[in-house]
């Protein structure tokens, strides 16, 4: 099956499921697409008891798609740039210090808390898993997913100041989370298993700080190019080239491509700079182009997430571990947010119940699944993939559907 046929199948399914959602369910697209895809997949399973032709075709399709490579190396940069481009830069600047702590200290604290608690839970279930592998799970599940967050918060009526915190955190903490995951992965796969603090600090510095600095430079160059001409079609192509070329260069330099693209998107989307670099026509076309890219890739991504059910090994203990992981991850997120919120609450006039809303609004998504797919069989890939999938589905369907209601209830109280 060639690339064109796979892309056609995914986009066609996204169009059909998207139509059903808009016409009948009227849910946020992210939630609706995943729910319909899961129901469709369950229907395929049911049909397979009578005729497994469709099931075999679906499984063959999914197995030919490298979800990890597709999302992390190809789709993620486009989605992050689209999200950063429309983020309120001035509010982000005001909230930069709590966002920085949420995306760094918060991810690290959550990683170790989730990893430690899951280690004991898996032992109680009779699943012998090394502590370092549980830390890997903690690292892949701790970052909130900017793609899921951005898609759902638009319709949740979250106060703008709080929305900036949640969106800003999610834009940056996935890059940090990937670096933390890769660091623990290297320790887990090293023969000695020794922890070299200097090597870890160097990796973190190069990947994270280097990625941000490169992204700011990329954004500035893009801004200068946009400012020097007034031709909307070429300017749209320049932004596209910046994302694609910037991603490849960041990967070649071993920098965090997600953080680089987020930084570039924030520079290009900065209201002050875009007013100096784009005409009203160009601004309209750039915004609409990236909005369309965002909608299309989001649709394909969440259809893919729903279809991943076809290749999971849903054993009883794995399923139970996934259900137990949900409250563990929520509690650990609440704890990991406590210090940054306590530190800046009065100075920046935080919205009441910020911790509770950020805990419930911190959705997990495709990035966590992609990282879980990168685990080896020795790291209990099938176990952690099932656990991650259950957490992600609960996060998007349950948390995503109720975050708006939670915000309304807390406003009344």
What backbone torsions phi and psi does residue 37 show, to the nearest 5 degrees? -65, -40
CB 245 within 8 A of CB 291: no
**Same-domain status, 48 and 84:** no
Mean of per-residue pLDDT scores for the chain: 91
Task: Provide, rounded to the nearest whole percent, the portion of the chain with pLDDT above 70.
Answer: 96
Residue 375: pLDDT above 70?
Answer: yes
Burial class for 272, CB neighbours closer than 10 Å (0-12, 13-18, 19+): exposed
**Same-domain status, 120 and 226:** yes
Residue 191: pLDDT above 80?
Answer: no
Q: What is the pLDDT of residue 408?
A: 84
Q: What is the pLDDT of residue 208?
A: 87
235 Cβ partners below 8 Å, 6+ apart? 226, 229, 278, 282, 285, 286
Using 50, 70 and 90 to split pLDDT, how confident is the model at 158? confident
Residue of 146, 106, 203 whose CA lies nearest to 367 = 146
Domain end call among 63, 90, 112 = 63
Q: What is the pLDDT of residue 1?
A: 53
Q: What is the pLDDT of residue 183?
A: 85
Residue of 204, 297, 205, 214 whose CA lies nearest to 257 = 214
Q: What value does the mean pLDDT take over residues 84-92?
A: 85
**Same-domain status, 31 and 97:** no
Domain end call among 47, 63, 79 = 63
The number of domains in the chain is 2
Q: What is the pLDDT of residue 314?
A: 84
**Same-domain status, 80 and 122:** yes
Residue-wise pLDDT for 27-68, tens only, equals: 888 899 999 999 999 999 999 999 999 999 999 889 899 999
Residue 201: pLDDT above 70?
Answer: yes
In which domain, by residue range, is 143 found? 68-412
**Same-domain status, 35 and 84:** no
Residue-wise pLDDT for 382-413, tens only, equals: 999 999 999 999 999 999 999 988 988 887 76
Q: Report the C-alpha gap between 303 and 75 in whole angstroms.
A: 14
CB 167 within 8 A of CB 403: no
166 Cβ partners below 8 Å, 6+ apart? 144, 149, 153, 158, 357, 358, 361, 362
Residue-wise pLDDT for 237-291, tens only, equals: 999 999 999 999 999 998 999 999 999 999 999 888 888 889 999 999 999 999 9
Q: Report the C-alpha gap between 297 and 147 in whole angstroms.
A: 10
**Same-domain status, 58 and 72:** no
**Same-domain status, 208 and 92:** yes
Residue 293: pLDDT above 90?
Answer: yes
Using 50, 70 and 90 to split pLDDT, how confident is the model at 133? very high
Q: What is the pLDDT of residue 199?
A: 66
Domain end call among 63, 87, 115 = 63
**Same-domain status, 27 and 172:** no
Helices (H), 86-209: 89-94, 96-103, 105-124, 131-141, 146-153, 160-189, 197-204
CB 204 within 8 A of CB 183: yes
Q: Report the C-alpha gap between 212 and 256 in whole angstroms.
A: 8
Token readout for 141 is 């599940």
**Same-domain status, 18 and 99:** no
CB 105 within 8 A of CB 339: yes
Which CATH number fits the domain that encloses residue 193?
Answer: 1.20.1530.20
Residue-wise pLDDT for 159-182, tens only, equals: 888 888 888 999 898 888 888 898
Q: What is the pLDDT of residue 193?
A: 53
Burial class for 380, CB neighbours closer than 10 Å (0-12, 13-18, 19+): buried
**Same-domain status, 52 and 161:** no
Residue 93: pLDDT above 90?
Answer: no
Total Cβ atoms within 10 A of residue 255? 23
Using 50, 70 and 90 to split pLDDT, how confident is the model at 126? very high
Q: What value does the mean pLDDT take over residues 113-129?
A: 97
361 Cβ partners below 8 Å, 6+ apart? 149, 153, 156, 158, 166, 399, 403
Residue that wins the pLDDT comparison between 328 and 150: 328
**Same-domain status, 51 and 171:** no
**Same-domain status, 149 and 256:** yes
- Distances 175 to 179, 250, 258, 262, 339 between C-alpha atoms, Å: 6, 12, 6, 9, 21
- Distances 148 to 75, 78, 241, 284, 364 between C-alpha atoms, Å: 14, 14, 25, 24, 7
Q: What value does the mean pLDDT take over residues 317-340?
A: 97
């Amino acid at each position: 099956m060639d690339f064109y046929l796979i892309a056609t199948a995914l986009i066609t399914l996204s169009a059909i499921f998207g139509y059903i959602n808009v016409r009948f369910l009227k849910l946020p697209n992210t939630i609706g697409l995943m729910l319909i895809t899961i129901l469709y997949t369950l229907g395929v399973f049911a049909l397979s008891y009578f005729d497994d032709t469709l099931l075999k075709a679906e499984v063959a399709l999914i197995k030919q798609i490298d979800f990890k490579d597709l999302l992390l190396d190809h789709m993620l940069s486009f989605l992050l740039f689209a999200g950063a481009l429309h983020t309120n830069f001035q509010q982000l600047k005001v909230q930069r210090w709590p966002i920085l702590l949420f995306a760094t200290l918060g991810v690290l604290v959550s990683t170790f808390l989730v990893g430690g608690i899951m280690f004991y839970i898996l032992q109680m279930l009779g699943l012998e898993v090394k502590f370092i592998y549980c830390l890997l799970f903690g690292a892949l599940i701790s970052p909130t997913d900017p793609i899921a967050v951005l898609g759902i918060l638009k319709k949740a009526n979250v106060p703008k100041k709080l929305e900036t915190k949640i969106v800003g955190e999610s834009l940056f903490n996935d890059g940090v989370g990937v670096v933390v995951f890769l660091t623990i992965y290297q320790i887990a796969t090293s023969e000695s298993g020794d922890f070299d603090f200097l090597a870890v600090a160097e990796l973190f510095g190069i990947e994270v700080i280097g990625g941000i600095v490169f992204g700011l430079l990329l954004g500035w160059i893009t801004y200068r190019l946009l400012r020097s001409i007034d031709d909307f079609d070429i300017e749209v192509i320049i932004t596209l080239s910046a994302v694609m070329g910037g991603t490849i260069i960041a990967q070649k330099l071993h920098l965090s491509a997600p953080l680089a693209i987020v930084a570039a998107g924030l520079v290009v989307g900065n209201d002050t700079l875009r007013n100096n670099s784009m005409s009203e026509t160009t601004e309209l076309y750039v915004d609409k182009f990236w909005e369309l890219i965002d909608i299309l890739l989001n649709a394909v991504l969440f259809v893919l997430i729903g279809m991943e059910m076809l290749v999971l090994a849903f054993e009883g203990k794995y399923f139970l571990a996934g259900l137990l992981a949900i409250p563990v991850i929520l509690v650990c997120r609440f704890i990991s947010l406590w210090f940054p919120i306590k530190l800046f609450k009065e100075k920046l006039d935080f919205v009441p119940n910020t911790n509770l809303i950020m805990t419930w609004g911190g959705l997990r998504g495709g990035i966590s699944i992609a990282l879980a797919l990168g685990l080896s069989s020795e790291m209990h890939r099938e176990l952690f993939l099932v656990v991650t999938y259950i957490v992600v589905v609960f996060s998007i369907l349950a948390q995503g559907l109720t975050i708006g209601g939670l915000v309304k209830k807390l406003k009344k109280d």
